[in-house]
Amino acid sequence: MPAYALLLRPAANRLYSKGAAALNQAELSVLNERVLNGSLYAVEPAVIGGVDYVRFSAAETMSTDDVARLSNLSSAFALFQIEDDGRLVPVALAPVAHLDDDLLTIQRYKGKTNEQFTKLLFNVTLAASAHTADWPTRRLRVLDPACGRGTSLNQGLVYGFDVDGIEIDRVAYDAYRTFFVTWLKDKRYKHQVHTMPLRRDGKVVGRRLEVVFARDKHEYKADDVQRVRLVNDDTRQAGDHYRKPVFDAVIADLPYGVQHASRTRPDARTRRPEALLDAALDGWIGAMKPGAAIGLSWNTKVLARDELVELLGRHGLEPRTGDGSFEHRVDHAITRDLVVAVKPE
């Protein structure tokens, strides 16, 4: 039975790096169950030569397609097949990178979600969606209904998706618009930017942004374009913006109830996960295609897992990830976990 060792990509965040092996073990286990038909065995963290790996065995030598699926693991840096004499033989990875990954790494600001965790959340959620099999022959469309400054939007773009975001904070909305349009100009990508006021009851309540772009003029002329749609509005109003089921997945890193929910803010109550979710979920779900998955990460110190799972079920979703294996410490006030649920087909 062939054995393999996955070398983990270094993480700038010390705490995240410390738990990366366990997180990637959990991520690979989900991928094995839902995508690889259980063909991997004995998935476990390992230390080889003083370096962290995730080690596993396969029923037979992995195919090119299987290696391609493993290539997108959130912390995958290099893959080796372990020979009988202990030698590590490199296996070439082929991660999806429709755009340069500096789109993910350039931005630095307080409270930014770790890019590796954002990719992990994408991977685990996509593994549960009935529509992921369409990728890459069809460009998927993904919503982040609490997108902040757009880390998840950027991950979706790197994967080649169309992405939508909702963000109530005008400062965050403006920061992402400025960053992304500047990035497109620096890359010299063909693009168009449309900004318009968002009106409700005859009043301007926010802004709406749509960016259409392609990597070169030939793709643009062929209409082989990607789209970013960003709404500066309360996510509880999602049903006003999306009246039909259009999304293949919904992915969000929820407000943690610490840095993101100052009691002095007028929207503080609704920014807490349980109140926010109960008020917003029906709008999000209405925009999801049947079979689409929703992946949420949150702070377990302000909302217990069983309460969140019960809330998702009450809104008609079917939770899929419930073992807590992704739980990890972010700082003294935040212990983060994730849960995935599916909209019934």
Whole domain around residue 261: which residue ranges? 102-342
| SS3 call for 213 | strand
What is the band of 258 on the pLDDT scale with cuts at 50, 70, 90? low
What are the backbone dihedrals phi and psi of residue 319, each rounded to the nearest 5 degrees, phi first? -60, 140
List the strands of the sheet with 88-91, edge to edge: 40-48, 51-58, 3-8, 76-82, 88-91
Contact by Cβ (8 Å): 166, 147: yes
**Tokens representing 32?**
């094995």
- Is 113 in the same domain as 75? no
Give the pLDDT band (50/70/90) at residue 342: very high
Q: Which residues of 324-336 are buried (b: 16+ CB within 10 A; e: fewer)?
A: ebbbbebeeebbb
Residue 321 reports pLDDT greater than 70? no
Structure confidence at residue 330 (pLDDT): 87
**Nearest partner of 111 among 142, 75, 147, judged by Cα:** 147
pLDDT tens digits for 145-178? 999 999 999 999 999 999 999 999 999 999 999 9
Domain match, 65 and 111 both: no
Task: Assign residue 303 a region (left: φ > 0; alpha: ψ between -120 and 50; beta: otherwise).
Answer: beta
What CATH code is carried by the domain that includes residue 73?
3.30.70
What residues form DSSP beta bridges with 251? 295
How sure is the predictor about 323, in pLDDT bands with cuts at 50, 70 and 90? low
Contacts of 114 (CB under 8 A, 6+ apart): 11, 13, 16
Q: Are residues 141 and 261 in the same domain?
A: yes
CATH of the domain at 229: 3.40.50.150
Q: Token digits for 279?
A: 């008020």
Residue 41: inside a domain, yes or no? yes
73's tokens? 């693991």
What pLDDT, on a 0 to 100 scale, did the predictor assign at position 21? 86
C-alpha 284 chain-centroid distance: 16
**Minimum mean pLDDT among 77-91, 208-222, 271-285: which range?**
271-285
Please indicate, yes or no, whether residues 196 and 85 belong to a single structural domain of this protein. no
**Does position 184 have pLDDT exceeding 60, yes or no?**
yes
Average model confidence (pLDDT) for the chain?
A: 91
- Helix or strand holding residue 250 (H, E): strand 247-253
Same domain, 60 and 149: no
Mean pLDDT score, 270-296: 90
Q: Percent of the chain at pLDDT above 70?
A: 93
Q: Are residues 40 and 112 in the same domain?
A: no
- Give mean pLDDT, residues 25-47: 92
Q: Is the pLDDT of residue 135 over 90?
A: no
Residue 194 reports pLDDT greater than 90: yes
In a domain, residue 96? The reply is no
DSSP letter (8 states) at residue 237: G
Omega within 30 of 0 (cis) for the link into 136: yes
Find tokens 């296996």 and name the residue.
91
Q: Where residue 266 falls among pLDDT bands split at 50, 70, 90?
A: very low
Q: What is the pLDDT of residue 268?
A: 43
Torsion sign over Cα 261, 262, 266, 268: positive
- Residue 21's nearest CA partner among 48, 61, 39, 1 is 48
Q: Is 330 helix (H, G, I), strand (E, B) or coil?
A: strand
What is the structure's pLDDT at 178?
97
- When pLDDT is cut at 50, 70 and 90, the band that residue 124 belongs to is very high
26 and 152 assigned to the same domain: no
Residue 56: count of CB within 10 angstroms of its CB: 22
- Residue 158 pLDDT: 97
Measured distance CA(77)–CA(90) in Å, rounded: 11
One-letter amino acid of 4: Y
Say whether pLDDT at 73 is over 50: yes
Domain match, 197 and 147 both: yes
| Total domain count, the chain | 2
169 in the same domain as 58: no
- 214 and 309 both lie in a single domain: yes
* pLDDT score recorded for residue 257: 65
Within-domain flag for 76: yes
Residue 136 has pLDDT above 80, yes or no: no
